[in-house]
Amino acid sequence: MVEVLESCFVVPSDETPKGRLWLSNLDQFDRGLFSGTVNFYKKTKATSFFSIEVLKASLAKALVLFYPLAGRCIVGSDGRLELDCNAKGCFFVRAQLDRTFDSINFQPSQELEELFIPSTQMAGSPFLLLMIQATYLKCGGVVLGFAVNHIITDAHSNFHFIRTWASITRGDLSSIVPPSFDQTPLRARSPPIVKFDHSPYKDNAASARSTPTDSTTTKLRLSKEQVSTLKIRCNRGKVTKISTFCSVASLLWKCYCYAQNLAPDTTGHLIFLVNIRSRLQPQLPQSHFGNAIVEASVQSKVSKITSSPLQAVAEIVQTAVDSVNDEYVRSLIDYLEIVGNESVYRKEAPKSELRVNSISGMPLYDADFGWGSPQLVSRWRVNGNRLIYISNEPGENGGIELVVTIDSATMHRFLKMLHEELNAGN
C-alpha cells in the first residue's frame, strides 16, 4: 500500500504570462486523457539523492519555462478547449512504498497506475494539466510518475519537459531549449479544404479509450540483431528505403492478421501516429509544445497481407507514412474544423484494425536529475485494445521493446506467428 507523505501544488518560481492559450484542432482530440511514464532510479551514495526540496525547487523553475502546465483546462464560449494560464501550479505528491524494485511488475496496468500516479480525485480537480509523484521504495530507489493531460502535449513535448526539469535539477542550464507555444501554424484554413479521407478520425475506424476486459497485455523485446535482420529483409531489392518503424510495424500487422483468423476478403487497417514537426511547410520548430502528431492509416485485404512477402507489406506501410505531408496535415486540420471535436471521440476498434504507436528514438532515458539516468522507463497505462507501443531499450543495447495489448484469445497465436516470422529471417 502506498503511503502519501505529502501533497501540494508547485507553482512557477517567477512571474509568468497570464491569460488564455488557444489550442489547435489536434489538441482537441483527447479530452481528459492523461498519459505519461514511470521512471525508476537506482539508489546512489549521494547524500542528497532525490531530495524532495531540490526536486520541488527545480520543478518551480521548470514551470516558468513551461508555464501552461501550471494552468488549467477550460471550455471556451465556442465549446473548444482552452488553457487558462493562471499559475495555480501542478500537483505534486511525495510517497513511500514498502516494496523493492524487484517485487514490482512494471508492465502497464491498473496496479502500476495506482502505485505511482496521482489521481485527479486526490488533486481535487479534473482540469489539471500535470501531476507528478515521487515514490521512495524500500530498496532505496525512487520512482517518478508523470501524468500529463494529452490536450496540451504529445510524447515529444512530454520528454522535452522532463529533460528540461532534469537539466535544471542537475544545474546544466546550457542544454535547455525553451519551448514554443505558438499554435498559429496549426489553424484551419478559411474556407476549409478537405482533400483526403481521414478514416482514423471517423467513428467506424476509431480506437478504444478504455481497455476491454477480454484483452491482455504483454511486454516483448526485439534484440538489436533481430531488428537489423528485419530491416535487411524488408529492404531487400527495394529502391525506397524502409525505415525501422515500417519494418517493425509491417511485421506486427502481418502477425496480427494471421492471429485474428479474419476472413481473407476482410479489409485490414493499420493505424499509426506521425510527428508532423518536420513535415509541415514551413516546418514547426522541434521545440513546438503541444500535439504535433496526426493519425494516418494504410489498408489492404487480409489475404494480401498474410500471403505477401514481408518486404511487400513493408513497402505499402512506408508509402503510407511518406504520404503524410503538409497537404495531408492541412486537410486533416480542416476536416476537424468542419466535423467538430465531439464527433471524433473514439469507440472500440474492430478486430480488423491494429494501432501501432512508436516513441522509439525519443530521449526516454535522457532524464538525469543529477543522480544518474533511469534504469527503467515504462508506460503506466494502455489506452485501448488492439494496440502496440514501440519504444527503445536503455543504453547501447540497440533493441526495442513492445507493449502488446490485444484480445486474450488472440495473444497465443500472435506470439507464435511473431516467433516464426522473426526466425524466417535467419
Q: Are 45 and 112 in contact (CB under 8 A)?
A: no
DSSP 47: T
Q: Helix 224-235 to helix 310-322 angle, to the nearest 10 degrees?
A: 90
6 grid coordinates: 505529502
Strand extents, DSSP E, 55-175: 72-75, 81-85, 90-97, 130-137, 142-149
Q: Are 377 and 409 in contact (CB under 8 A)?
A: no
β 142-149/215-222 pair status = unpaired
Strand extents, DSSP E, 98-166: 130-137, 142-149
φ/ψ of residue 199, rounded to 5: -60, -35
Q: How far apart are CA 87 and CA 126, in angstroms?
A: 16
CA angle 32, 405, 424 (to 5 degrees): 145
Catalytic residues: 150, 368
Q: Are 13 and 87 in contact (CB under 8 A)?
A: no
Beta bridge partners of 391: 401
Contacts of 291 (CB under 8 A, 6+ apart): 24, 26, 27, 29, 30, 150, 151, 152, 153, 154, 157
Closest CA to 33 of 180, 208, 198: 208
